[in-house]
Structure 1
Amino acid sequence: MRKLFDPILAGGNLKDRLWACLGALLGIGLTSVISATFVHPHGTFLLIAAPMGAAAVLVFAVPASPLAQPWPVIGGNIIAALVGVAVRILVPAPELAAPIAVGVAILMMSLTRSLHPPAGAVALTAVVGGPAVADAGFAFVLVPIALNAIILTACGILFHRFSGHSYPHRVPTVVPAPIEAALRAEDLDKALADLGETLDVSREDLDLLFGRVEYHAAHRRTQSVGGGPLGRAT
């Protein structure tokens, strides 16, 4: 039963989860308050887009994730909103427009290095978001999507100055271990503790990855010693 409550992300701990709760509370709160000062030019004002809740999980709970960095949060949401609105206009049938919007949004985000999972919901919202979103047209891209994303990202940058995490994330400089060093499970746990970051990958996957790295390093050393291609090259 205890394993059910273990963190599912490598490096996660209770302290970081509490920081994430506080960060999301402040981030979504400030985003809502600041967005409320802007009047939507078309119909009922949409204060804050629901996908921003998912974006807050990334920004405040896994700030080291490539999917949580400022460009994916801002650029990904804006691109997805543009795609969603354009598809809704070009494809009148919602049952067709919805999958097309999400698929094209993923493609465009991938091409622009701005992949951000919550933005898939932004593209979907642009298609099935109801009369308020439909009446707004391309204004939906600016308010609330771009406005929300920019404010939330700014809150994340400010908040993580006090949380102990780098955001935008910067990989710390580390001293490489000798190639002969054998990796052990406790070494991985200590390395995760040294980084102090919640990584967007499971500990088991990291353990497997480093195990394969160790295997290939040992295989390369064996080839070098045995006079294989690498040995002849040296």
Structure 2
Amino acid sequence: MTDSQRPERAEGSIPASAQRRRGFKFFAPILAGASLRERMVACVGALVGIALTALICRFVLGDHTSLPLIVAPLGASAVLLFAVPASPLAQPWSIIGGNTISALIGVIIAHFVHDQILAIGFGVSIAIAAMSFARCLHPPGGATALTAIIGGPAVTSAGFLFPFIPVGLNSLLLVALGLLFHKLSRHTYPHRPAAPLPNPHQTRDISPELRAGFTPEDIDKALEALKETFDIAPDDLESLLRQVELQAMLRTHGSILCEDIMSRDVVTVGVWDDVELARTRLIRHNVRTLPVIDRQGHLVGTIGLREILGSTGDMSARMSPASTAAASTPAVALLPTLTDGRTHAVIIIDRDQTIAGLITQTDLLATIAKLVPAQSG
């Protein structure tokens, strides 16, 4: 069958995200999570970071120095720092350590290996090894090592000063400006990989979230089977995959909302009440968590038997922060919260922080049980 004879695929069968990418193919993100807005922010960041780094170096070094105010590989560092700040290759130690160590390797190689062809080969390869052992792998470091070897008379005459001024100084200033820029633009930098899920009960059992589905060991084995290295930390990859699982569940079962399954007759205590009253209500109503309200009826926290064990007085010093959601939230979105081993109930609140209802682990379990199709005998 020729291409002209093939039936055209119905427009509705193409996912909306694919249609958007097809319609704006020139702006389609190459990296996952990228957007046109984020790229524009990265452009502004690179503009500010590189320009101010050169300006400060001019002030520090003066106009009469033979050293370059800024080394060319720093442009590549700026791409990583401002365009992909979550990359392990773009973190502060990767930029500062990677560039400085690589420049030092380049200077050493240039000093001992006088054949330039051999020098540039050894320089880049040993720089990769040094950055790997120092846990500061940074792609522009390879270019920095080359610059130290073939950078010309000004670089050669600087000798062992070159790795620190201008390379180290450039890198330090760029990272400092990057930290400030990302803080002002409300980005998290340095990137903090998702922490491994601990067992809240302090036993040798793995965390409840890991007992079904994939485990970190499965991710390690999958990466080993693919025989590829990806620019993402394993902990971030695990967090991403768990979010994929949740989004798939929301897509298939998101029609059931919190307001559909929540308890509406919610037992509460006032922040002014005595702890003994909270203990009495917890036992009488056989619940694990009580919402705590102020005199205007607004939610201010929660309290359970664990918080009031052996305590007296009022609730203000004993209550814990409340886990909350809106009535229009899909019920399955509460799964990560209610399976963390610590949270027994999510308080459903209105816009004015008044309590609309409450969903317990039992409520959610009963709902999910109805979603699971019965196995045929």
> Is 1:78 aligned to 2:100, yes or no?
yes
**Pairing 1:23–2:52 present:** no
SS at match of 2:165: helix
Residue of structure 2 equivalent to 1:115? 137
Q: SS of the counterpart of 2:136?
A: coil
Residue 143 (structure 1) shift: 1.1
Q: CA deviation at 1:23?
A: 0.5
Task: State yes or no: 1:163 paired with 2:185.
Answer: yes
Report the Cα distance in structure 1 between the residues aligned to 2:44 and 2:147, rounded to whole angstroms. 27
Does structure 1 residue 55 correspond to structure 2 residue 77? yes
Kindly state the Cα deviation for residue 166 of structure 1 after the two structures are TM-superposed: 0.8
Aligned ranges for residues 1-234 of structure 1 at < 5 Å? 2-39=24-61, 44-172=66-194, 179=212, 200=231
- Distance, in Å, in 2 between the alignment partners of 1:93 and 1:131 is 16
Q: Is the 8 A contact 2:27 2:36 kept in 1?
A: no
Measured against aligned partners, the alpha-carbon deviations of 1:50-85 in whole angstroms (never above 9, x if no partner) come to: 000000000001000000000010011111011000
Task: Please state which structure has a larger fraction of its residues in helix.
Answer: 1
| Alignment CA distance shift 1:174-1:139 (3 Å) | closer
Residue 5 of structure 1, CA deviation: 3.2
Offset, 1:172: 4.8
Kindly state the Cα deviation for residue 142 of structure 1 after the two structures are TM-superposed.
Answer: 1.3
Q: Which runs of 4 or more aligned residues in structure 1 lie more than 4 Å from their structure 2 counterparts after TM superposition?
A: 172-178
Question: Aligned equivalents of 1:113 and 1:140: distance in 2?
Answer: 22
Give the whole-Å Cα distance in 1 for the aligned partners of 2:30 and 2:211: 30
User: Could you tell me how far 1:200 is from its partner in structure 2?
Assistant: 4.7
**Structure 2 vs 1, CA of residues 72 and 44 (structure 1 numbering), >3 Å: closer, same or farther?**
same
Question: Is the partner of 1:167 in helix, strand or coil?
Answer: coil
SS of the residue 1:37 aligns to: helix
Deviates more, 1:2-11 or 1:49-58: 2-11
TM-fit CA distance, 1:6:
1.1
Q: What SS does structure 2 have at the residue aligned with 1:11?
A: coil
Unmatched 5+ stretches in structure 2: 1-21, 198-208, 215-229, 246-377
Offset of residue 179 of structure 1: 3.7
Higher strand share: 2
Question: What's 1:219 paired with?
Answer: none
**Deviation of residue 137 (structure 1)?**
0.5
Distance 1:160 1:179 in 2: 37
**Structure 1 contact 43–132 (Cα < 8 Å) conserved:** no
Count of aligned positions: 189
- Residues 77 and 95 in structure 2, CA contact (< 8 A), matched pair in contact too: yes
Amino acid at match of 2:78: A
What amino acid is the match of 1:62?
V
Bigger Cα Rg = 2
The 1:31/1:110 distance shift into structure 2, 3 A limit, reads: same
Partners of 2:163 and 2:128 in 1: CA distance: 17
Q: Please list the CA deviations of residues 15-59 of structure 1 after superposition, one character each: whole Å capped at 9, or x if unmatched.
A: 11011011101100110001112338x961211000000000000
Q: Answer yes or no: is the 8 Å Cα contact 2:91–2:190 preserved in 1.
A: yes
Structure 1 runs not aligned, ≥5 long: 182-198, 215-234
Q: 1:162 Cα deviation (Å)?
A: 1.9
SS in 1 for 2:77: helix
Secondary structure of the corresponding residue to residue 20 of structure 1: helix
| CA–CA distance in structure 1, aligned partners of residues 54 and 112 of structure 2 | 31
Q: Is the 8 A contact 1:62 1:200 kept in 2?
A: no
TM-score by length of 1: 0.73
Cα distance between partner residues in 2 of 1:3 and 1:127: 40
C-alpha contact 1:79 1:109 (8 A) present in aligned 2: yes
State the SS of the aligned residue for 2:60.
coil
CA–CA distance in structure 2, aligned partners of residues 180 and 77 of structure 1: 41
Q: Deviations over 1:158-198 (max 9, x none)?
A: 111122221110135799599469xxxxxxxxxxxxxxxxx
Change (3 A) 1:19 1:178: farther
The corresponding residue for 1:196 is none
Pick closer, same or farther for the CA change 1:173–1:80 going to 2, 3 Å. closer
